[in-house]
Chains A and B, each alone.
Chain A
């Protein structure tokens, strides 16, 4: 079907223009609105996720700081320093007795729910006191926390898996050097350690996500995911960045895990969070899933708090927003079209009346003069035009009435010579002349008027 708007009725054109004029902006505004809503939803989600990562990082920092303060306090305890000094002096009579120190450590453990083991290592890495007697005599010199503490640094270790009997859960060690005389410049004689269940640390993680589809992680400086809000998360203890051979060797040397650290398939966008000194947000792939990722580096440890949620959440939110927007736009469009149609009708009705009237004038059919009169009441050009058309219609009607009433021209054909002959034949007859002679008298007699002529 070929559509040529140039042939449209003016009324149709006005209606179409008004409807397009009404619907166009609605569609445009709807498009803009949806984009805005989508962006807003994304921004809201992003802000929320970054906030969550920040909260987790702050919680972890607080917990680590508290543990480091505690382990520093232990390392400066007079009895523990004295005990370590005594042990260092070659196993003679140790004063105070090992039992006394072990009992003190038991008291500490009792006082700190969630902390796994309180113990003391000597300068060879051997456990010389512990709230868990099973580890006494064991050597932990391979653990980086001991090595760092022996270098004078109070530190928190990366998470490591339990080996042997140390504990049954993944753990983190808070370690502080024990110095001779408890003085800051004293020689380092051993290391005070709090072996914390990793759960204590990741409790901040597990409780953090406010929604089921959000997950929180701790990512270490090299990319290893050391904690997850999901129990038995398959990507825990994997790395989102491939570990260098050196890092792999270090992990193995520290006996952190059962074997090499697996690399988790991750898009570069997400990998960017590893070692990032700034908080951030990105979207990308994590273990095959499209996710939004927010992160916040910790202050107290070279770790990063990470919060992840599936991108589909944004789609769903945007879908909801889009649906709402479309519903509103639909309603607005319907109202706009209705208003446009009413306006078009109001505008075109006089036009239709005028075109109809002029068409009828041309065709010679009766014009609806009442409809014209309605339009003629307008004070604009249309009113003037209608008045003139009405005048023309009236004139036409009057002229037609005159023409219609007029008797068709009669053709009178009379043979005058025959007429004269016929008349003569009659009037010359005796009957006629006799009758004619008596006609006046007959009229009088018929009417009973006898004043003239013969009496009856």
Chain B
């Protein structure tokens, strides 16, 4: 059974694509089969980072103009997995979104086709900012929502609404990821206060890192700079996801991505 991890941020620039690419990369490197989908139209950043894009993407699949097998591109080599892990990347595509009446159905069909085609353990969804009908549709299939929040107060109102909506949608494990903060250790009192304010738990704290922002390498930062505090925090997040998945299925934990 595949696990849907949705990486979302209410505002642009909170680092959704960076987190998605690195999370998918770390998971794949650790031996997990991962499908990374850029759900925002025209989004090609993840594909670009991981070695290339396809002409058609997720939008074409939803629109029914492209097949699942043809839009997925294997990027396993870019993360250097050597233990059976796999990474397939689907970029955003350019097709016009379907009518709201059928978007739910079309999206469901598209994901079903992707799972058929690639049978991933994890589906990492890199979403568009905001809270649109497309976002709501993705939340409907999401298992783990990683709601990225910057310590920027303008962000909080929309993020709080998103968190509430996700809960109401029945997302099993919605969580906050604090990004671009100074430091990596959250004071317990602060944690409690934040979790109370947003009504969902904090899953990870990703410190601000200029190096991550300026990273231009062939491999995701968390892999090429595994010792960096940012990478350590992100790897911890990936590890928690794997552990949660194993626990959910009543299996012993998989090999930790940290290993």
Contacts of B137 in A (CB 8 A): 435
Contact code string A426-454 (vs B, CB < 8 Å = 1, else 0): 11000110111011101101111100000
B194 CB to closest chain A CB (Å) equals 6
Q: Does B170 contact A (CB under 8 A)?
A: yes
Write out the residue numbers on chain A whose beta carbons fall within 8 Å of the beta carbon of B111: 446
| CB <8 Å contact, A412 and B197 | yes
- Closest partner residue, chain A, to B112 (CB atom): A446
Q: How far is the CB of A163 from chain B (nearest CB, A)?
A: 125
* Cβ distance A436 to chain B, nearest Cβ, rounded Å: 6
Asked if B178 and A414 sit within 8 Å, CB to CB, the answer is: no
Known A411-B153, A412-B194: A419·B185 in contact at CB below 8 Å:
no
Distance in angstroms from B64 CB to nearest chain A CB is 16
Determine if B136 and A435 form an interchain contact, defined as CB atoms under 8 angstroms apart.
yes
Which parts of B192-225 form the interface with A (CB within 8 Å)?
Answer: 193-194, 197-198, 205
Please tell me if the beta carbons of A405 and B183 are within 8 angstroms of each other in the complex. yes
Residues of B within 8 A of A439 (CB): 140-141, 169-170
- B151 and A408 form a contact (CB under 8 A): yes
Q: Given that A423-B165, A446-B111 are known contacts, is A407 also in contact with B182, CB under 8 Å in the complex?
A: yes
Per the CB 8 Å criterion, the residue count for chain B at the interface is 41
Contacts of B115 in A (CB 8 A): 446-448
Question: Do A426 and B131 form a contact, CB below 8 Å, given A407-B187, A436-B168, A446-B115?
Answer: yes
For B110, give the chain A residue with the smallest CB separation: A446
Which residues of the partner chain A approach B140 to less than 8 Å between Cβ atoms? 435-436, 438-439, 442-443
Least CB separation from B193: chain A residue: A412
Bound complex: CA A426 to CA B197 (Å): 19
On whether A445 and B169 interact (CB within 8 A), knowing A408-B151, A419-B161, the answer reads: no
Q: Contact at A443–B141, with CB atoms within 8 Å? A: yes
In the complex, are the beta carbons of A448 and B185 less than 8 A apart?
A: no
Interface of A is mostly: helix
Main secondary structure of the interface of B (DSSP, over half): helix
- Residue A99 CB within 8 A of the other chain: no
Which chain B residues border A431 with CB–CB below 8 Å?
100, 133, 136
Residues of chain A contacted by B183 (CB below 8 angstroms): 404-408
Contacts of A413 in B (CB 8 A): 153, 156
- Per the bound structure, the CA–CA distance linking A438 and B109 in Å amounts to 13
Residue among A407, A447, A448 making CB contact with B190, cutoff 8 Å:
A407
Interface flags, B65-100, vs A, CB<8A=1, else 0: 000000000000000000000000000000000001
Q: Is B48 an interface residue (CB 8 A)?
A: no
Which B residues lie within 8 Å of A447 (CB)?
1-2, 112, 115
Known: A426-B136, A435-B140. A445 touches B182 (CB 8 A): no
Interface: A400 (CB within 8 A)? no
Inter-chain CA distance A447–B116, complex, in Å, is 9
Q: Find out whether the CB atom of A409 lies under 8 angstroms from the CB atom of B187.
A: yes
> Are the C-beta atoms of A410 and B141 separated by less than 8 Å?
no
Q: Which chain B residues (1-56) contact chain A, with CB distance < 8 Å?
A: 1-2, 4
Total CB contacts across the A-B interface at under 8 A: 110
Within 8 Å by CB of A448, from B112, B170, B205, lies B112
Check B160 for interface membership: any CB of A closer than 8 A.
Answer: yes
A414 touches B160 (CB 8 A): yes
**Any A CB within 8 A of the CB of B228:** no
Residue ID in chain A nearest B119 by CB atoms? A448
Cα–Cα distance between A179 and B190 once the two chains are bound (Å): 148
Interface membership of A415, Cβ < 8 A: yes
Picked from A405, A407, A419, A435, the residue with its CB within 8 Å of the CB of B164 is A419
**Do B157 and A418 touch (CB < 8 A)?**
yes
Taking CB atoms and an 8 Å cut-off, the chain A residues in 9-66 that contact chain B are none
Q: A406 with B156: in contact, given A423-B164, A427-B165 (CB under 8 Å)? A: no
A402 within 8 A of B: yes
In the complex, are the beta carbons of B136 and A410 less than 8 A apart? no
Q: B243 at the A/B interface (Cβ < 8 Å)?
A: no
Name A442's contact: one of B104, B161, B165, B178 (CB within 8 Å). B104
A402 and B183 alpha carbons, distance in the complex (Å): 9
Residues of A220-266 whose CB lies within 8 A of B:
none
Nearest-Cβ distance from residue B249 to partner chain A, whole angstroms: 13
Name the A residues within 8 Å of B160 (CB-CB).
414, 419
Contacting pair B168 A405 (CB below 8 A): no
Expressed in whole angstroms, the Cα–Cα distance for A432 and B167 within the complex equals: 12
Residues of A within 8 Å of B168, CB to CB, are 423, 427, 432, 436
Please state if A407 and B185 are interface contacts (CB–CB under 8 Å): yes
Given A431-B136, A440-B170, A442-B141 in contact, is the A410-B151 Cβ separation under 8 Å? yes
B190 x A409 contact (CB < 8 A): yes
Shortest beta-carbon distance from A7 to chain B in Å: 42
Does B256 reach chain A (CB closer than 8 Å)?
no
Q: Evaluate contact between A446 and B153: CB separation under 8 angstroms.
A: no
7 smallest A-B Cβ distances: which pairs?
A: A405-B185, A439-B140, A407-B183, A412-B197, A423-B164, A446-B111, A422-B161
Interface on B for A, CB 8 Å cutoff?
1-2, 4, 100, 104, 108, 111-112, 115-116, 131, 133, 136-137, 140-141, 151, 153, 156-157, 160-161, 164-165, 168-170, 178, 181-187, 190, 193-194, 197-198, 205
For the complex with contacts A407-B178, A410-B194, A432-B136, 20 further pairs of A-B residues with Cβ separation under 8 Å are: A402-B185, A404-B183, A406-B185, A407-B181, A407-B185, A409-B187, A412-B153, A412-B193, A412-B198, A419-B161, A426-B165, A436-B168, A436-B170, A438-B140, A439-B141, A439-B170, A442-B104, A443-B141, A446-B111, A448-B115
Seen from chain A, the residues whose Cβ lies within 8 Å of a Cβ on chain B are 402, 404-415, 418-419, 422-423, 426-427, 431-432, 434-436, 438-440, 442-443, 445-449
